[in-house]
Structure 1
Amino acid sequence: MNETASLRARAEIDLAALRANVRALRERASGAQLMAVVKSDGYGHGAVPCARAAREAGATWLGTATPHEALALRAAGLDGRIMCWLWTPGGPWREAIEADVDVSVSAMWALREVVAAAATAAGRPARVQLKADTGLGRGGCQPADWPELVAEARAAERTGTIRITGLWSHFACADEPGHPANAAQLAAFRDMVAYAEKEGVDPEVRHLANSPATLTLPEAHFDLVRTGIAMYGVSPAPELGTPAELGLRPVMTLAAAVALVKDVPAGHGVSYGHHYATPAETTLGLIPVGYADGIPRHASGRGPVLVGGTVRTAAGRVAMDQFVVDLGGDRPEPGAEAVLFGPGDRGEPSVEDWAVAADTIGYEIVTRIGSRVPRVYVNESAEPAGSAHPTGGAPQ
């Protein structure tokens, strides 16, 4: 029997699609280097396998949010440049420095902690990237505080304690083409970079572009682009086009085995609260995944799923471990495949379809798929053909 045939559910991850997406994004990057962002366990796809595939396709950097994510990549044997940016006081600065991870600094407290940690690290300066808040209002140093941060960073650099390797920021509205904030942030970034360079900063990379800016704002590419969601074949926003229109292929296919098919009479209530009642005598199919697996409860009554060649809709509420579809009299065998989303080759719904059903974004749909759903990797080799194996939520 096929090793995956008996799985309750699986998230199939096509690493050939990911490599193709990375190559396509590199072509869009106007000669800039590409950072493959693998935070949040590779947006739910598995950080380590996706990082390896991205490297094979030419990504020169890997990006994570937390330092622990970056250190896990190193522990898995991934070399080359890795950057992480979401720090809190007391974080593992020394461990990151010794692992040769580029760390982001947005404030004086962070700079002082990394300088102190570098003094105890094993014979190497900290690799520091200064983050500017150019208008997102989230992480990053405000323009009014930038001169102080740059001055203290340069002082530490002169002592050999740190090396300022990058200057960077993040867009707020790049997924809205033509939004005035995009031009304003681009101008602010250029000003803050110019100031830092005037003060003697000589960064290896300047970077501002996320996935949507990589696709639509070539003037924002600078030395490096950071591609996250687009690398996984999910459109950053409906306004930018479908994955196919953007030259991308969805990497994850989420499927489950139909657990039960049964006949019910007209007027039969379905799932908690009986928000759905059968309009006529029909058959119901039980899909054994629920919100504990990451299926959004907000998609109750709307979430699409392909069963037996027909797209059905979740009937009634999505429960913790399961939901129901009205099969309209059809009787697929128990164990038949139910495809929640995928690349669309068989007419199955897309990640974007589920995002619409749950009134959210595609990012959330893929990242919320939980550890109870094994990841099954296909095309692991860089060759066109590959093998598949299931793993748990923490890919090997």
Structure 2
Amino acid sequence: MRPTWAEINLAAIAHNVKLLAQLAQPAKLCAVVKANGYGHGIIPVARTAIHAGADMLAVALVEEGAQLREAGLQTPILMLSEPTPNQFGEVVELGLTPTIYQLEGLAAANAAAAKAKVSLPVHLKIDTGMARVGASAKDAVSLANAIVAHETLDLAGVWTHCAMADSPDHPFTAQQIQRFNQIITELTAAGHNNFCAHLANSAACMANPESRLNMVRCGISVYGIAPSRALEGCVALKSAMTIRTKVSMVKQIPAGTAVSYGHHYTATHDTQLASIPIGYADGLPRCLGLTGGEVLIGGQRRPIAGVVTMDQTMVDCGTEHLVAVGDEVVLLGKQGNHEITATEIADHVDTIAYEIITRLGPRLPLHFTKHPYTTATSDLN
């Protein structure tokens, strides 16, 4: 087996969930586990989050909800996107809580619930400034009225999503909170009282106490990553993922040797060039070596040499310390006194940490640990 894997520390997940649950009190905590638990493994992450105090889970797809139910998880599961009309039968069968924001979805939800002779809890999503999915504010009351007009549907929640909360000083978050509170006031005046109001994502939960309302939805922070540089350190999160591999070959190359496709990197000195068995097919950005990306070998930062290839990456290891086949390499996480974070990698390639951890390829196995040494395998997926 290739010695390349992502190590997921479930104790760090548990720590983060407990911390966020305490921060959110008295509001409830919804742990967002979509996209395979942000690349960390949806089933182990979900189980850990529930045991650590999460009140609800959130997914994007019906298939993700099905994974959780098939694993035996009975916790309430919120779908963050409205299912397609032909999926509502499965939504009802699985006991998922769908988000609704279109009349077509409302009609399909009612039909599926009526056919199954059950009462289906739904959450109404309102767009207050993302211009993504969600009903317009002017339609909130009429849609809520339409939902409760059906005996088969229960208006269990009303929510929106913050567009600028990762920039804590941006005034738009306060505007969204004000808009949403006004919608809640209008819904209450129309007789809708018994629902869960929620708008805070990780960033808003951390930086805007007034946004927490009845529930917060935390995604990136569950995995120990701050939503943005501006919010680093304001909550004592612990990063849960480490990506490791081992040196597969070492070459002594003279100054002037060009490395990798396109010869974008040329050694300026005689050096040790290590090859490591991980590439862009595993989720490592191809351009990382062109923009200052580094790895950790022997407790030292070493620059990636040239473009990352599909299966291999080359590293300039210098000559100060000998490097050997089998030496551990850390691409994400800590080694010695150094740490490479998802945010650092993201900065090198002009993206966000969310993309770095969710782009990991299926060839990269997940190994689960509970600090310090108890290990399980990706069979837990």
For normalisation by structure 1, the TM-score amounts to: 0.92
Runs of 4+ more than 6 Å apart: none
Conservation of the 8 A alpha-carbon contact between 1:304 and 1:353: no
Q: What amino acid maps onto 2:135 in structure 1?
A: C
37-46 vs 325-334, which deviates more? 325-334
Give the Å deviation of 1:85.
2.0
Which residue is equivalent to 1:389? 376
* Cα separation, 2, equivalents of 1:298 and 1:286: 16
Give the Å deviation of 1:345.
6.0
Confirm whether residue 87 of structure 1 aligns to residue 82 of structure 2: yes
* Cα separation, 1, equivalents of 2:369 and 2:84: 40
Which residue is equivalent to 2:288? 299
Conservation of the 8 A alpha-carbon contact between 2:85 and 2:104: no
Equivalent positions of 1:69-218 (< 5 A) are 69-121=64-116, 123-156=117-150, 160-218=151-209
* Cα separation, 1, equivalents of 2:332 and 2:135: 40
Q: What amino acid maps onto 1:252 in structure 2?
A: M
Q: What amino acid maps onto 1:363 in structure 2?
A: Y
Instruction: Describe the SS at the equivalent of 1:348.
Output: strand
Conservation of the 8 A alpha-carbon contact between 1:118 and 1:162: yes
**Match among 288, 291, 308 for residue 318 of structure 1:** 308
264-273 vs 189-198, which deviates more? 189-198
**Match among 309, 314, 317 for residue 299 of structure 2:** 309
Identity, in percent, stands at: 39
Which residue is equivalent to 1:63? 58
Give the Å deviation of 1:127.
1.2
* Cα separation, 2, equivalents of 1:347 and 1:385: 19
Give the Å deviation of 1:91.
4.2
Which residue is equivalent to 2:277? 288
Residues 7 and 320 of structure 1: is their aligned pair in 2 closer, same or farther, counting only changes over 3 Å?
A: closer
Give the Å deviation of 1:346.
4.0
Conservation of the 8 A alpha-carbon contact between 1:82 and 1:101: yes
Conservation of the 8 A alpha-carbon contact between 1:261 and 1:331: no
Give the Å deviation of 1:344.
6.2
Structure 1 unaligned segments of length 5 or more: list them.
1-5
Conservation of the 8 A alpha-carbon contact between 2:296 and 2:335: no
Structure 2 unaligned segments of length 5 or more: list them.
none
* Cα separation, 2, equivalents of 1:255 and 1:191: 49
**Match among 253, 256, 273 for residue 245 of structure 2:** 256
Which residue is equivalent to 1:36? 31
Conservation of the 8 A alpha-carbon contact between 1:44 and 1:367: yes
* Cα separation, 1, equivalents of 2:82 and 2:239: 31
Instruction: Describe the SS at the equivalent of 2:339.
Output: coil
Which residue is equivalent to 1:3? none
* Cα separation, 2, equivalents of 1:42 and 1:298: 26
**Match among 42, 49, 59 for residue 44 of structure 2:** 49
Instruction: Describe the SS at the equivalent of 1:279.
Output: coil
Conservation of the 8 A alpha-carbon contact between 1:298 and 1:359: no
Give the Å deviation of 1:198.
2.2
**Match among 308, 333, 347 for residue 342 of structure 1:** 333
Q: What amino acid maps onto 1:139 in structure 2?
A: V
Instruction: Describe the SS at the equivalent of 1:376.
Output: strand
Instruction: Describe the SS at the equivalent of 1:92.
Output: helix
Residues 177 and 195 of structure 1: is their aligned pair in 2 closer, same or farther, counting only changes over 3 Å?
A: same
Confirm whether residue 236 of structure 1 aligns to residue 227 of structure 2: yes
